[in-house]
Amino acid sequence: MRYYISSMKVKTSITLSEDLVKILNRYAADNRSEFIEKALRSFIAQLARDEKTARDIRIINDKAEALNAEAEDVLAYQVKL
């Protein structure tokens, strides 16, 4: 997946729990902003994938009865050994 990385940055302030900041410093002491931006992009991408999966499951479930009937019809034509 490609991300559009804008050169324009907006300064913001967030409040994090102390334990999370300690972990953040362990992994991204040199550039916390970049680390948080990458983590947030990754999390948002996962949310989008989860939404797509949920949408696909709803479509399959909505069509399940018809798909199952079609499968049973096809199975009826198989030769029994």
Domain that holds residue 28: 18-76
Q: Which residues of the chain have pLDDT under 50?
A: none
Cα–Cα distance for residue pair 22/29, rounded to 1 Å = 9
Structure tokens at 30: 């040199």
Establish if 48 belongs to a structural domain.
yes
Evaluate if pTM is beyond 0.85: no
- What pLDDT was estimated at residue 76? 87
What pLDDT is stored for residue 17 in this prediction? 97
The count of structural domains within the chain is: 1
pLDDT of residue 79: 73
Has residue 70 been placed in a domain? yes
61 within some domain: yes
pLDDT of res. 6: 64
